[in-house]
Structure 1
Amino acid sequence: MTDVRRSGAESRERILAVAREHFARQGYDRTTIRAIAAEAQIDPSMVMRYFGTKEDLFTLAASIDLALPDLTSAPTGEVGRTMVRHFMKMWDSDGTLMALLRRAATDPGAAEQMRTIFATQVAVAVAPVCPDPSQAPRRAALAGAQLIGIALGRYVLDLPPIVEMDAEEIVDWVAPTVERYLTGPLPKPADD
């Protein structure tokens, strides 16, 4: 290992960048502190000093800004399409988000982190386009469940029909449902 002199802040950022790559590429279980330290050119004990445990490092590395688009600027009837297209690009380009999704399926802490990301970021982005902003958390949760389900089927379970579809085809199929979740009227209760 080459001893590269960096400030504490530079070392910390380098470790986080390398950790994001490793977690995204290999998942949580196959990523090791030693491998991260070797690539970051730092002693493994320093990784632990800066971040504590592997779990703590993962939590920080998987802190994600979804960079959601301003849905109020989407043309009428295009909110769902805008949201689905954004998520398809994120799923395709951000391995960290995929690593968090994979881990969230089996780890309660990662699941809570995923819930928090969706509850805080998606609900806030959705509220201005909801007919009743008080319904934003429900509408965001339904849209989020749809989008997470697509990601799970396409990138984790490798369901052949979904894997074979191009991103724009998925947008065409899923956008109307997400549009209804976000901007449509509330369903009428079923008569008993």
Structure 2
Amino acid sequence: MAATPGTGRRDAEETKGAIIRVARHLLARHAHGDITLKAVADRAGVSPPLVLKYFGSKDALFSRVMDFEDDVDAILDAPLADLGRHMVRHVLTGQAERGADPILRIVFAPLHGAQGDILRTNFRTQVCARLAERLPGADAGLRAELAVAHLLGLGVMYGIARGPHVRAADIEAVVERCGPAVQAQLTPP
């Protein structure tokens, strides 16, 4: 994290972002109960009291990490007619450039006990239900969940299973193959 020129101080928003990224990383690899504030702070390059200053408590930090509101805007940021391709591109680009896509946190819900229930509830209401609101038709909820299921499977193959063929393929080539399958759920004939 860069210090603000001339002050020797870090930018607060940059530091908060780093803490959240570290907490997401740890939450994707360890049970919630096994993650300490010290581990988050050490990995983020800050002190545990600074984590507490910004977030108040471990539960408050992880409540923020388990929230999808900040992330869903980006994955849904396309016209409905091109949303399938956009969503596929977003998941793959996130994996390729940042090593993760925030939406994929749901895959690790079983690791987190009661916190996993919060993660699942947030995912259903903030991702699936919000997508369903954009879709026409009586079965919009089902189609939204099926579209998201395609994305999760692709994200798991790319980022978790590390499928060598998917990872070696050009992202746009995968978008052209998988985007229409996602789009078929969003705007069926």
Q: TM bucket by the smaller chain?
A: 0.5 to 0.7
The answer on 1:136 being equivalent to 2:140 is: yes
The answer (yes or no) to whether the contact 2:106–2:123 under 8 Å persists in 1 is no
TM-aligned CA deviation for residue 127 of structure 1: 3.8
Q: Which residue of 2 aligns with 1:20?
A: 20
TM-aligned CA deviation for residue 137 of structure 1: 1.0
The answer (yes or no) to whether the contact 1:154–1:162 under 8 Å persists in 2 is yes
Q: TM-score, normalised by structure 2?
A: 0.67
Residue ranges of structure 2 left out of the alignment (5+ in a row): 1-8
TM-aligned CA deviation for residue 32 of structure 1: 4.1
Q: Which residue of 2 aligns with 1:69?
A: 77
TM-aligned CA deviation for residue 117 of structure 1: 2.8
TM-aligned CA deviation for residue 135 of structure 1: 1.5
The answer (yes or no) to whether the contact 2:66–2:118 under 8 Å persists in 1 is no
Q: Percent identity?
A: 22
Residue ranges of structure 1 left out of the alignment (5+ in a row): 1-5, 186-192
The answer on 1:97 being equivalent to 2:105 is: no
Of stretches 97-106 and 78-87 in structure 1, the one that deviates more from structure 2 is: 97-106
Cα distance in 1 between the residues matched to 2:153 and 2:135: 23
The answer (yes or no) to whether the contact 2:91–2:101 under 8 Å persists in 1 is no
The answer on 1:161 being equivalent to 2:165 is: yes
Cα distance in 2 between the residues matched to 1:96 and 1:174: 17
Aligned residues: 169
Query: Helix, strand or coil: the match of 1:106?
Result: helix
Q: Which residue of 2 aligns with 1:178?
A: 182
Structure number with greater Rg is 1
Q: Which residue of 1 aligns with 2:116?
A: 110
Cα distance in 2 between the residues matched to 1:82 and 1:15: 29
Letter in 2 for 1:165: A
Residues 1:104 and 1:151: Cα distance change in structure 2 (over 3 Å): same
Residues 1:119 and 1:91: Cα distance change in structure 2 (over 3 Å): farther
Cα distance in 1 between the residues matched to 2:158 and 2:57: 33
Residues 1:99 and 1:177: Cα distance change in structure 2 (over 3 Å): closer
Residues 1:178 and 1:14: Cα distance change in structure 2 (over 3 Å): closer
TM-aligned CA deviation for residue 165 of structure 1: 1.5
